[in-house]
């Protein structure tokens, strides 16, 4: 399965179990299930209130979608414009076609400073490319400074949620991890540390402050990059972002090429939709914006700024007429919190730094559908459509899921590393079996379906002649009506009679 699967080191781990297998672990872990349920339901309710507060939400959502679509449509020109703006403002722009190249660029930049340690702000892009591991291999220690990321890093664990990556850990576990691991990384946890959140946060503050104050190199991602001005934007809560962005002498930001917006004014849309949709706040506690470097006289923040523009599968995704809308994503995580499958399966089951509905459409596009996990991800959904409803940039996730199912089962032309290739159908392969198990898992749970009344037929552009997925495999070449007239759930139950218990 690996011949087309190149250039993705350490992500996913080579033998990552397919979706339903990994999901089973989560279902059997009551702590995880309880935490997840509590988290997703709490955030969901808060978010609904934060969104209801702005009467023009629908118009903001539409504008956000249009801005992102417009940017993607002219991405080459905006990338060049951004490069010019950042360079004019004193920054240096690097281009990385894949994870390896990005890691090499960053490692070389760090080595050129003579430093052996860096502080990091939480960044999906650097997790995606496995930057910490790559730096470690070069003898450079990368310290995560977001509280949840610190918990994950000290616990030698993986993040399970975009917004609250340590949501699978409860306070007792966090206390134990701090007490046991902090001393190996720096300042030890205070004696007699209890498990109250305030004390745990204080322990993290002390542990990390030492690192911030001596850090010479900071590494970040960015939520937005403004082509017109060269401004980068980081949205955060704890202040660790501000620390990493302002105290070090050198700042390296690794950002996916899809994070561009054309103009300064465009931020007025996303700075309203992102906080409300993500942390359910009117505004998150801290947002930093910087444009290149400042001149010596007023020197404020890093003297050296490097921007690494990351492709790593994004241009391949852009080449897919249906799938490219996934690049609109602003990583708010709202779709995770409404997803009945995510709630049961947990973030780890998605085998990627991008869990939940967005992960189910992004990972198989960024990485291709050759591996079992990536072939099974488009099936990790009941197509209920709740993700589309909450998405602040209106990504039609069910539409992309159906499209990717078709790709898995029927093969067809895709772009991989810039080249057009024709995929063979997964029929009869391990990938197909993994996909079917995932579908069975997602569909056979009444709980997962209770909210799932939306139709496969609601997808607008994609009208497959044969229903992709297990349907195709199990119904032979039976042609379907141009648009399936019955809900997917009904179709499933009718054709499979709910027989599969899908443990």
Partner 1 sequence: MSSRDAILGRVRRALADVRQDDTPPVPERPGRYPQYDEAIDRSYLREHGDRSVKETVDLLAENLADYRALVHRCTEEELPEVLMRLLTERGSTSVLVPPELPPSWLKAVDATRVHDRAESTPHELDRVDSVVTGCAVAIAETGTIVLDGSPDQGRRRITLVPDHHICVVRVPGQVVSSVPQGLERLDAARPLTWISGPSATSDIELDRVEGVHGPRTLEVVLVSGTPPEAEVTSQHLAV
Q: Contact residues for ligand SF4 (CB under 6 A)?
A: 329-335, 358, 390-393, 395
Q: Which of 32, 96, 162, 438 binds partner 1 (CB under 8 A)?
A: 96
Residue 349, contacted partner among partner 1, ligand SF4, none, CB below 5-8 A by kind: none
Between 5 and 95, whose beta carbon lies closer to partner 1?
95
- What is the distance between the alpha carbons of residues 301 and 136, in angstroms, rounded to a whole number? 26
Residue 240, contacted partner among ligand SF4, partner 1, none, CB below 5-8 A by kind: partner 1
Of 54, 89, 155, 19, the residue nearest 448 (C-alpha): 19
Least separation in angstroms between residue 190's CB and ligand SF4 is 36
Tokens (6 digits) for 37: 């349920």
Residue 322 touching partner 1 (CB under 8 A): no
Least separation in angstroms between residue 258's CB and ligand SF4 is 11
Between 67 and 349, whose beta carbon lies closer to partner 1?
67
Q: End-to-end CA distance of the chain, in Å? A: 26
> In sequence order, what are the residues at sequence separation of 6 or more whose Cβ sits closer than 8 angstroms to the Cβ of residue 447?
340, 344
**Site size with partner 1, rule: CB under 8 A:** 106
Contacts of partner 1 in 358-417 (CB under 8 A): 415
Residue 205 touching partner 1 (CB under 8 A): yes
Of 57, 76, 128, the residue nearest 99 (C-alpha): 128
Residue 329, contacted partner among partner 1, ligand SF4, none, CB below 5-8 A by kind: ligand SF4
Exposure string over 136-153, b if 16+ CB within 10 A, otherwise e: eeeebebbbbbbbbbbbb
Tokens (6 digits) for 225: 């990059």
Least separation in angstroms between residue 406's CB and partner 1 is 18
Least separation in angstroms between residue 344's CB and partner 1 is 19
Tokens (6 digits) for 494: 């009718």
Binding segment for partner 1 among 203-211, 375-383, 448-456, 465-473 (CB under 8 A)?
Answer: 203-211
Residue 121 touching partner 1 (CB under 8 A): no
Residue 240 touching partner 1 (CB under 8 A): yes
The DSSP letter of residue 402 is H
- What is the distance between the alpha carbons of residues 430 and 276, in angstroms, rounded to a whole number? 41
Residue 97 touching partner 1 (CB under 8 A): yes
Residue 249 touching partner 1 (CB under 8 A): no
Residue pair 434/18 in contact (Cβ under 8 Å)? The answer is yes
Residue pair 19/351 in contact (Cβ under 8 Å)? The answer is yes
* 3-class state of residue 267 by DSSP: helix
Question: For 128-285, where are the E strands, in sequence order?
Answer: 141-144, 217-220, 224-226, 231-236, 250-256, 260-261
Binding segment for partner 1 among 71-79, 395-403, 453-461, 475-483 (CB under 8 A)?
Answer: 71-79
Residue pair 346/168 in contact (Cβ under 8 Å)? The answer is yes
Least separation in angstroms between residue 489's CB and partner 1 is 31
The strand order across the sheet containing 141-144 reads: 92-96, 304-310, 250-256, 217-220, 117-120, 141-144
Contacts of partner 1 in 255-284 (CB under 8 A): 257, 262-269, 271-272, 275, 279, 281-284
Least separation in angstroms between residue 434's CB and ligand SF4 is 23
- What is the distance between the alpha carbons of residues 380 and 389, in angstroms, rounded to a whole number? 18
The number of angstroms, rounded, from the C-alpha of 45 to the middle of its chain's C-alpha atoms is 22
Residue 80 touching partner 1 (CB under 8 A): yes
Q: Which of 299, 421, 482, 485 binds partner 1 (CB under 8 A)?
A: 299
Residue 311 touching partner 1 (CB under 8 A): yes
* 3-class state of residue 424 by DSSP: coil
Between 245 and 426, whose beta carbon lies closer to partner 1?
245
Taking the CA atoms of residue 367, residue 370, residue 159 and residue 231 in that order, the dihedral angle to the nearest 10 degrees is: 10
Taking the CA atoms of residue 18, residue 24, residue 29 and residue 30 in that order, the dihedral angle to the nearest 10 degrees is: 130
Q: Which of 78, 143, 354, 388 binds partner 1 (CB under 8 A)?
A: 78
Q: Which of 66, 92, 113, 493 binds partner 1 (CB under 8 A)?
A: 66
Contacts of partner 1 in 138-197 (CB under 8 A): 145-148, 151, 164-167, 170-171, 174, 197
> In sequence order, what are the residues at sequence separation of 6 or more whose Cβ sits closer than 8 angstroms to the Cβ of residue 385?
397, 398, 454, 458
Least separation in angstroms between residue 331's CB and ligand SF4 is 5
Between 380 and 480, whose beta carbon lies closer to ligand SF4?
380
Least separation in angstroms between residue 307's CB and ligand SF4 is 22
């Amino acid at each position: 399965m690996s011949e087309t699967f190149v250039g993705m080191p350490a992500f996913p781990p080579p033998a990552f179990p397919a979706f339903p297998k990994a999901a089973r672990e989560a279902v059997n872990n009551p702590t995880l299930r309880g935490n997840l349920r509590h988290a997703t339901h709490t955030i969901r309710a808060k978010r609904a209130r934060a969104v209801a507060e702005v009467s023009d939400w629908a118009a903001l959502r539409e504008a956000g979608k249009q801005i992102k679509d417009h940017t993607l449509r002219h991405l080459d020109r905006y990338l060049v414009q951004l490069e010019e703006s950042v360079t004019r403002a004193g920054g240096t722009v690097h281009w990385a076609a894949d994870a390896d190249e990005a890691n090499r660029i960053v490692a070389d930049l760090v080595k050129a400073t003579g430093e052996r340690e860096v502080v990091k702000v939480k960044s999906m892009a650097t997790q995606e490319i496995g930057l910490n591991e790559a730096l470690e291999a070069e003898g450079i220690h990368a310290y995560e400074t977001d509280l949840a990321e610190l918990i994950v890093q000290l616990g030698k664990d993986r993040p399970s949620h975009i917004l609250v990556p340590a949501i699978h850990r409860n306070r007792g576990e966090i206390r134990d991890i701090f007490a046991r691991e902090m001393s190996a990384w720096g300042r030890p946890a205070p004696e007699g540390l209890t498990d109250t959140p305030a004390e745990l946060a204080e322990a993290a503050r002390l542990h990390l402050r030492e690192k911030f104050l001596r850090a010479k190199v900071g590494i970040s991602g960015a939520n937005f990059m403004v082509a017109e001005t060269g401004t980068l934007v980081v949205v955060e809560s704890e202040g660790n972002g501000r620390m990493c962005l302002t105290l070090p002498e050198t700042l390296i930001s690794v950002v996916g090429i899809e994070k561009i917006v054309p103009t300064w004014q465009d931020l007025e849309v996303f700075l309203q939709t992102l906080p409300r949709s993500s942390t359910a706040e009117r505004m998150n506690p801290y947002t930093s914006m910087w444009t290149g470097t400042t001149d010596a006289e007023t020197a404020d923040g890093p003297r050296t700024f490097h921007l690494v523009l990351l492709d790593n599968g994004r241009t391949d995704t852009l080449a897919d007429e249906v799938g490219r809308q996934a690049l609109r994503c602003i990583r708010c995580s709202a779709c995770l919190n409404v997803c009945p499958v995510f709630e049961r399966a947990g973030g780890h089951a998605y085998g990627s730094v991008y869990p939940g509905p967005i992960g189910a459409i992004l990972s198989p596009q960024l990485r291709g559908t050759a591996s079992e996990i990536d072939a099974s991800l488009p099936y990790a959904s009941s197509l209920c459509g709740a993700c589309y409803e909450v998405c602040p940039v209106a990504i039609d996730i069910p539409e992309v899921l159906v499209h990717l199912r078709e790709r898995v089962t029927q093969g067809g032309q895709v772009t991989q590393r810039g080249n057009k290739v024709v995929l063979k159908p997964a029929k009869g392969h391990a990938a197909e079996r993994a996909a079917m198990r995932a579908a069975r898992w997602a569909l056979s749970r009444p709980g997962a379906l209770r909210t799932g009344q939306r139709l496969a037929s609601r997808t607008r552009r994609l009208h497959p002649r044969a229903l992709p997925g297990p349907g195709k495999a199990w119904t032979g070449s039976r042609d379907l009506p141009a648009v399936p007239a019955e809900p997917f759930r009904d179709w499933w139950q009718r054709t499979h009679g709910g027989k599969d218990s899908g443990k």
